[in-house]
Amino acid sequence: MSDTIFIKGLALHAFHGVMAYEGKVGQGFNIDMILTIDLAASAKSDKVKDTVSYDQVVAVATEAFLGKRFKLIEAAGGAIADAVLARFPRVSAIEVTIHKPHAPIAAIFADVGVTLRRARR
């Protein structure tokens, strides 16, 4: 199957990170998600009941990301992937990318982050 729903650039402020000050001050993160889903039914019916609603995906991802303080964005991304797969049975796989553009790195860089891919077994 090659159908996808994507959400790019979800901007959230959170307190994730290994450094103590990251837990106090927080920083901005950007999240991209690509959901693998069969869209044949919704393409024919034109009804939201036959797909997954973007706003619900955003709500579930936001709750998972902000629900606790993670030291690693790898763990935060895993929480998002697990939550989306648990909540939306139509989604067969998800790719989550978390961008941490203000990571505490002593260098000039455009972006750093992680991408996780999870699928139903």
**Which residues 6+ apart lie within 8 Å of 101 measured at CB?**
28, 30, 110, 111, 112
- The sign of the dihedral angle between the CA atoms of 60, 63, 66, 72 is negative
Q: Which of 100, 39, 25, 29 is nearest to 61 (CA)?
A: 29
pLDDT digits (tens, 9 = 90+) for 61-96: 999 999 999 999 999 999 999 999 999 999 999 999
> In which band, very low, low, confident or very high, does the pLDDT at 114 lie, cut at 50, 70 and 90?
very high
**Separation between Cα atoms, residue 105 and residue 25, nearest integer Å:** 16
Ordered domains of the chain (ranges, CATH):
4-105 (3.30.1130.10)
- The model's pLDDT over 6-26, given as tens digits with 9 standing for 90+, comes to 999 999 999 999 988 888 999
Closest CA to 80 of 71, 89, 67: 67
Q: Which residues are catalytic?
A: 100
